[in-house]
Amino acid sequence: MPYDASKDQVLDTWENEETGLLISINRYGDGEPKLQIGPRTFTKRDGTKGTMKSGRLTAEDVAWLREIIDDIQEKLNVYIQQ
């Protein structure tokens, strides 16, 4: 079965304003909601926004993730129960 973009849902998103790291809860079709780490956003020289792979996490990224992990877990559990 080929990938169908219309079935891909972003249920919730968090963004680290300092590093651009994005964390999201996603679901494909009727599948189980899952946590996605990345991509990372940045501002290009021309002022537009771009994205790139998150790659390796910095200590700052990990500290931020630690701060929000309880909120992520609660929301993930809510989406799983729906």
Q: What is the pLDDT of residues 36-54, one digit of tens each?
A: 999 999 999 999 999 999 9
Strands (E), 1-82: 8-15, 21-28, 34-43, 49-52
Find where tokens 């992520």 sit. Answer: 72
Average pLDDT over residues 2-27: 96
Domain-wise residue ranges, the chain: 5-81
Contact 34, 27 (CB under 8 A): yes
Checking if the pLDDT of 82 tops 90, the result is: no
- Beta strand 34-43 with 49-52 is antiparallel
Q: What is the pLDDT of residue 70?
A: 98
